[in-house]
Amino acid sequence: GAGVSQSPSNKVTEKGKDVELRCDPISGHTALYWYRQSLGQGLEFLIYFQGNSAPDKSGLPSDRFSAERTGGSVSTLTIQRTQQEDSAVYLCASSLVGGSNQPQHFGDGTRLSIL
Amino acid sequence: AQSVTQPDIHITVSEGASLELRCNYSYGATPYLFWYVQSPGQGLQLLLKYFSGDTLVQGIKGFEAEFKRSQSSFNLRKPSVHWSDAAEYFCAVGDGRAAGNKLTFGGGTRVLVKP
C-alpha cells in the first residue's frame, strides 16, 4: 500500500530493555512525526523531522527517548532502559511538506507493552 | 499555549440518528483545525480540515464541521450515523506559528452506535 507503515505492530518487552520502533513514511513525504498515545495522557507529540533540518525534539519525555531519520525516509524511534510508563501506542505520521496547513497521514501504530 | 477540549468522552447514538461532536480550542491566532477518526487497532484517518475561507467544511464519510470563531469551536456533525461510524474521534489544532506542524489533540470522543 501507499500509506505510512510501522513495525512491529505489537511489541512486548521487559522493563529495562531497549526497543526500536520503525516508521516508513509515504513516498515523497518530507515531514515525519512521532506521537505517543497513552490512556493517561492522550495523544502527545514527540518529535518532528523536516528534510535535512535539525529535528524538533521538544516533545521527547526524557533522554531515554531518541529518534533518527536516515536518508530522509525511514525513521527509528529508540527507547532505552524501558519503564512501565512507556507502555503506549506509538504513532508515526508523515506529510508532503512541513507546515500547519499540511494534513498528516498516520500509520496504524506500534503497541508497546512493558512488563 | 494552544489547547483543545472535547467535552464529551463518550456519546451513544442510534443508527440513522444525527451526531454532533463538540470541540473547543484555545489558540492565539487563526487556527488550523482538523478532525481525525480512529477505529480500534488502527491509526488516525483525516476526516476534514479547516484553514480559512468558508466556515462550513465538508469531509469524507458524510461528515462536516463548522468553524465558529466567536465560540472558539469546531464541531463535527453527521446527519445520519451508520454502524461503521463507531470509533473514536479526535479534534486537533495545528501550530501555525512554528515551522513544523505540531498537532495538539483533544482527549477524544468515543462514539457508540446502537442498532
Half-sphere exposure of residue B110: CA atoms within 13 angstroms, side-chain side? 5
> Binning pLDDT at 50, 70 and 90, where does residue B96 land?
low
- Window 2-61 of B, Cβ < 8 Å to A: 32, 34, 36, 41-46, 49, 51
pLDDT score for B30: 74
Task: Determine, for residues A109 and B43 on separate chains, whether the beta-carbon distance falls below 8 Å.
Answer: yes
* Cell numbers placing B28: 492565539
Report phi then psi at B16, rounded to 5.
95, -15
> Binning pLDDT at 50, 70 and 90, where does residue B100 land?
low
* Residue range A18-29: mean pLDDT, rounded: 96
Closest residue in A to B39 (Cα) is: A108
* Cell numbers placing A64: 531515554
Task: Report chain A's mean pLDDT, rounded to a whole number.
Answer: 92
Higher pLDDT: A67 or A53? It is: A67
CB B25 within 8 A of CB B7: no
Task: Determine, for residues B43 and A56 on separate chains, whether the beta-carbon distance falls below 8 Å.
Answer: no
Edge to edge, the sheet with strand A75-79 lists A5-7, A19-24, A75-79, A65-69
**How far is residue B79's CA from residue A79's CA, in Å, rounded to a whole number?**
44
**How far is residue B84's CA from residue B77's CA, in Å, rounded to a whole number?**
15
pLDDT score for B27: 80
What pLDDT, in 10s, does the model give residues B10-44? 999 999 999 999 999 988 777 889 999 999 888 89
Q: Kindly give the pairing relationship between strand A10-13 and strand A110-114.
A: parallel
B64-69: long-range pairs with CB below 8 Å, 24+: B65/B33, B65/B35, B67/B33
Best residue in A26, A100, A110 for a mutation probing chain B (most B CBs within 10 Å): A100
Q: Looking at the predicted structure, is the pLDDT value of residue B94 above 90?
A: no
